Structure 1
């Protein structure tokens, strides 16, 4: 059982460790920025990395200017220092970042070096697996927009996750510690005789090991599917020259190259 990283993991994880935690309500810009840093060294050569607030402005993110403790995992304190200058949401449920807004930020703030290819539709474990298999050899970092309630606990023990890899049975794994619409970066996979784990770079140090945790692929598929079709999806961040290749993989997996409605109005 070997871990297979996606492209740009060393840069991604170095930036991830330095950037934690995300500002409240800005998980989309946080994840988009990490993917951009992971896939291009341009920023490190050309000057400072645009901050999460810059990604939020380009994405059209909006914040609800009140504390919403349930929007953070247990133990995470509020962090609002990057809110000034951002649009205001009309309510807590409409705060955040639309999927297409996150994609726009990726393309603009990478200087056109990267493409943001959406994958949406009726998510199943087979379709998610097929998409990831189809992207083998493509420089890509998937950003998942999902419902955390469908995941397992980010603190599931290594022994229990290894047992899942061997058997494919995730029924004994503990439930997720929070429930919210969320963006995370998928940075690798681990295939076992019975199941596959996906490695997530999350946005709070209280989750997993300093914001990194492994999740069973079927749980990630369920978290993308949510309760209603086309409310979650994958934003495939790839080199601009691979836009069409990524699109072919999306269609071959039985999915659609269309943005989904995560409940936040596109701006």
Structure 2
């Protein structure tokens, strides 16, 4: 049975209202959505997080940046710097972690977890399902093999639930086209093994209220996870 994490209802409502993401801003989009599980009010919007994260955009059309058939949206681009290349456009994991903290006035802090394996992800999600603190989880993945589309980019999604019996994670993606008809808009379940493989050079960002930083760090340490950022 799928277990919804604490705050999932607010997160899913925020996701439905926000879909789809502005081009090249999957990180700030997913962060703003996931913050609905952590904060009750004054949640920074996508542009505020993108600015604080140092996100950059490539202004030319680049169809491969989106799943086939997805719309091109440039909301918030006027507030951001231009990248020197499409490869360098977007938001780094370290930049996003710092941007989340800055945009929330340090009300929310981020614990980075690099390259977790499938068993580690399953154990972490199991423990988070029983956590006594509020949290949001972002997964930084490579989309190849994680969707039914021929779409291969670096990407951020939210994780909002876990089915221990099936060993699957419920994710909120950034386009309606990537969701399942049987789930909330933009959402689907994926095998944890596939999710971990998609994070092989990347990882997770665990967002918590500043007062719960010690509890979150203790959890990560107790599972022998690598608490550091990554660059791909």
User: Which residue of 1 is the match for residue 219 of structure 2?
Assistant: 249
Aligned twin of 1:85: 79
CA contact (8 A) 2:111 2:227 kept: yes
Q: Which has the larger radius of gyration?
A: 1
Q: Residue deviations 1:133-174, cap 9 Å, x none?
A: 333314222100010113253xxxxxxxxxxxxxxxxxxxxx
Q: What is the TM-score when the length of structure 1 is the normalising length?
A: 0.80
Cα deviation for residue 67 of structure 1 reads 1.1
Partner of 1:197: 168
Instruction: Name 1:236's counterpart in structure 2.
Output: 206
**Match for residue 17 of structure 2?**
18
1:27-75 deviation line (CA, Å, top 9, x unaligned): 01001111112211122xxxxx532111100000010111111110011
Deviations for 1:193-221, whole angstroms, at most 9, x for unmatched residues?
xx311011110111113311110000000
Note if contact 2:126-2:164 (Cα within 8 Å) is conserved in structure 1: no
Counterpart Cα distance in 1 of 2:230 and 2:222: 19
Query: Structure 1's 21 and 152: CA in aligned 2 closer, same or farther, altered over 3 A?
Result: closer
Please name the residue that 1:228 is paired with.
Answer: none
Tell me how far apart the structure 2 counterparts of residues 134 and 10 of structure 1 sit (CA, whole Å). 19
Whether the 8 Å CA contact 2:147–2:178 is kept in 1: the answer is: no
- Kindly tell me the number of residue pairs found equivalent between the two proteins: 226
**RMSD over aligned Cα, in angstroms?**
1.6
Gaps of at least 5 residues in structure 2 are none
For the residue of structure 2 that corresponds to 1:244, the secondary structure is helix
Partner of 1:142: 137
Q: TM-score, normalised by structure 2?
A: 0.91
